[in-house]
Amino acid sequence: MPRVAVLATGGTIASSKGADGTSVASRGVQDLVAALGAGDVAVEARDVLQLGSYLLAHRHLRLIAEAVAAELARPEVDGVVVTHGTDTMEETAYLLDLVHNSPKPVVFTGAQRPADAADTDGPANLREAIAVAAASRARGHGVLISFAGRIYAARGTRKAHTVAPAPFQTADGGPIGRMDGTDVRFAMQPLRPPALPLPSTAFDSTRVDVVSAYPGADAALAAAAVEAGAAAVVIAGSGVGNGNHALCAWAEEAVRAGVVVGLSTRVAEGPVVPYYGNGGGADLMRAGAVPLGSLPLFQARILLALLIAGGRKPDGQLLDPYL
């Protein structure tokens, strides 16, 4: 019988309404698995955190990564499920995928409706995630997100709808698998780059900020981020990664001062491409900004933070396998 470890971190799947009528993560993992009926799977469960994912900091992400690594190191464990809020699931799942060096699957899931809602989706999502983590065919697929019958690779997947029951979407792609009743089906297997080391405590305080380009934007926010201690700033450019003259001038100065400047896009899908001059993306790259490909904006932020915290200077050659 396969054995799956369930690690709970909070989120809507563990939330109930309080006296003020708002939902707060308050239920422990034993409440989540008590009446689950996981079938022919032995389930172990423990709480790591009990927070809405909108409250998470880098330290919390590191603690989750360490907890998952500890479970994967146990020979008797065949897979791990992490219950997590959907708000920032894309960041935590991607961080864990970057450091995942085991064939055992790690599967994230959560809920869009609280645990005390009459139509809560948490139990069904958790049951499916456990089935995915226990499936031998899920081995070698890295870190996955299982939600509403669909299975996604962590890399490139983001929350694309605030309230829909199936809120996740993979940039320039779709689910790599699905649940067929109780059967786990995969249509493809992700190509995965070499695993990076687990985040150290330096990750906790590694600041990487995001600054968006928009009509009339100047470099004040980017400069303020560096003043506040940012080791890197990701510019969310318009279109294919365009900025303006003020951001280009700031980027050149920041790179000269040793700040990493990443170039992403505020567009949901598609890569950063140096098409345009006159303050566009080509000029930002000439100023020293590092293009971040088609990796979603907030996953790109996590990648830079992990590399910088590990003492590595992100450049095109280092980043290429992860983009």
Residues with a catalytic annotation lie at: 12, 86
Q: What is the DSSP string of 171-227?
A: TTS--SEEEETTEEEES-----PPPPPPP-GGGGG--EEEEE--TT--SHHHHHHHH
Whether 170 has a binding-site annotation, put simply, is: no
Where is 184: in which H helix or E strand? strand 183-186
Length of the chain: 323
Of 117, 119, 184, 118, give the one whose Cα is nearest residue 150. Answer: 184
Q: How far apart are the first and last CA of the chain?
A: 37
Whether 53 has a binding-site annotation, put simply, is: yes
CA–CA distance, 235 with 218 (Å, rounded to integer)? 12
Whether 86 has a binding-site annotation, put simply, is: yes
Where is 290: in which H helix or E strand? strand 290-291
**Secondary structure letter of residue 242 according to DSSP:** B
Which residues fall in the annotated binding site for substrate?
Answer: 53, 86-87
